[in-house]
Structure 1
């Protein structure tokens, strides 16, 4: 094998930030940006609004809200069995590929509760119910329980959720409106998809991942997708890719002409929402966050919103509102110098202007030392 250039964490970080639209805000609309990013993790309903604001120039909340209401974007369980914001086309392309992860989750969490159950029959019943009207999980469980009275309603709903592509329909995730989570089938909500033979190949999906998250190792691709045994797929792609090595010797794959900026390229302060895919889509995430700081970001219930300084996570943030005052609490994981504090405060003020335009604004930078809130997965 020919010598492979070595890319350190800073070089990898700049490459990924460039592709994630985090080195400079892009002149893109919400829909093409979500497509370029191969979806955005979205189990926190408002997280993609902040994720798009931090990546796009002149983004406004109605840009995403309108796309959801008009069914140009939708929220559906995909990679890692988590809710993602994607285009209808990408939902149809990605769901069959990541289905093994959804099957594995169902087997792990509900193997005993579904033992002896004809899952395909349950899925068909759920599909019929949800094609007729959008239902909450409780409503779906109650109706399925009437058909299978000896089964746990929650297990029945998970069979449908994991075997049938389901969309969380508005007003859920509509900025300033919100509402109870209701599900419809993807086909009834966004229309039937193309013939399965017309869908993109797994190779095409991995190339799109590399365009949005690369350079990446086999383990990185598997982490993003929630799948295993993907090395043969990368080997098939090898002739059309460039390869590199990490400082630890792990092989990385990348598109030949993808951006790989100089490691010293300036990286502005950026505020990321909870569950941002930047922090969830690599096995080795030290390109953008240290292992120590990951333990401060990950909680027992998920992932805290974070902010980045010079291309790396440096702390967390929280937005609160009491009456007419909106407060952004900024929690650095270690002291910031004067220039960094100024840049963080300025970006925090811009975030408040975006999220709470009708409120009085208060930015507060903590000086306390944070403690771990959970174990990083």
Structure 2
């Protein structure tokens, strides 16, 4: 299996080629968790994986709580479904808190402050209230809790990791927070190994071919835990060894790789790039140096390979798309990129 074919299988399994999903929540359920650090781009990442997508439709699903946004893996913002948020947090939160320990110490926040902050936030949000960040700053300050510098961000993240708060509906362009109990009622927790197995199944079935180290890097789990999860699902996967690395993937008898050039405008931090420890397979070989920061840029994909970057300029009724191609495209490839641009514009308007 060559690098190009590796990328082709990944883009197929990630539902970017020939997407079949009809609702935003179906996409997130399949992907288990999707990085949502760049909010506008993350909505487009969902839209890419739908048969027909509209930004307002996805925003509505988020506002209605069908999709939640919280610090979930590594730690970074992710979209996740209400029924998945708690078991994933039970699995990942301890490692995130340990990684944040140095920052907590630097800014003088400890368990006593976190407990006071969590209780204050919970009381303020009682009754299915949803408050903006400025409103929550005011709530905490009135309770005598310092929110200067990075403390406010740490207090909110800790409350997310402690399963106190999660995303609410946006007010204009402002994000709000709600009680997790109001948006994702508690249920019987999964045992540690059950959760590892479930996360591994979601990852390898949606992002394969991938290695156990890819899974560990994406999830923030230890390689030991990642290996345990993979071991429990191996029977349902196939694998191939390339240059000493074992790649695991679902066995799709119906796999069809498009014969004609196909192009996509991917958002920043899309799972097609972010979900793997090493990303060279996703980039056309001559462009490896130009695409070295591929996860921090908006890639143009042609024939399953990164061939450039793009940016948008929003207007009242449309979006102008500016391309930065790393090399020349032929007429058929150019037409495919034009089709991708039109698809994105229709998503927005």
Same fold (TM over 0.5): yes
> In 1, Cα distance between the equivalents of 2:22 and 2:245?
34
TM-score by length of 1: 0.78
Among residues 219, 231, 241, which one is paired with 2:227 in the alignment?
231
- The residue that corresponds to 1:90 in the other structure is 84
State whether residues 54 and 346 of structure 2, in contact with CA within 8 Å, keep that contact through their aligned partners in structure 1: no
Report deviation, 1:103. Answer: 0.9
- The residue that corresponds to 1:184 in the other structure is 178
- The residue that corresponds to 2:216 in the other structure is 222
State whether residues 113 and 151 of structure 1, in contact with CA within 8 Å, keep that contact through their aligned partners in structure 2: no
- The residue that corresponds to 2:346 in the other structure is 353
- The residue that corresponds to 1:45 in the other structure is 39
> In 1, Cα distance between the equivalents of 2:60 and 2:110?
44
- The residue that corresponds to 1:250 in the other structure is 245
Report deviation, 1:329. Answer: 0.8
Greater share of helix: 2
Question: Pairwise mapping of residues 149-298 of structure 1 onto structure 2 (< 5 A)?
Answer: 152=148, 154-155=150-151, 157-162=153-158, 163-165=161-163, 166-171=165-170, 178-188=172-182, 190-197=183-190, 201-229=195-223, 230-246=226-242, 248-255=243-250, 257-258=251-252, 261=255, 268-289=262-283, 291-298=288-295
Report deviation, 1:353. Answer: 3.2
State whether residues 81 and 101 of structure 1, in contact with CA within 8 Å, keep that contact through their aligned partners in structure 2: no
Aligned length: 338
Gaps of 5+ in 2: none
Change in 2 beyond 3 A, CA 1:8/1:118: farther
TM-score by length of 2: 0.84
> In 2, Cα distance between the equivalents of 1:24 and 1:85?
22
Question: Pairwise mapping of residues 97-108 of structure 1 onto structure 2 (< 5 A)?
Answer: 97-108=91-102
Structure 1 window deviating more from structure 2 (150-159 vs 97-106): it is 150-159
Report deviation, 1:149. Answer: 5.2
> In 2, Cα distance between the equivalents of 1:307 and 1:115?
43
- CA offsets 1:300-357 (integer angstroms, 9 cap, x no match): xxx222220000111111111346663111111222223222221232133223324x
The answer to whether residue 311 in structure 2 is matched with residue 318 in structure 1 is: yes
Change in 2 beyond 3 A, CA 1:322/1:345: same
Change in 2 beyond 3 A, CA 1:265/1:11: farther
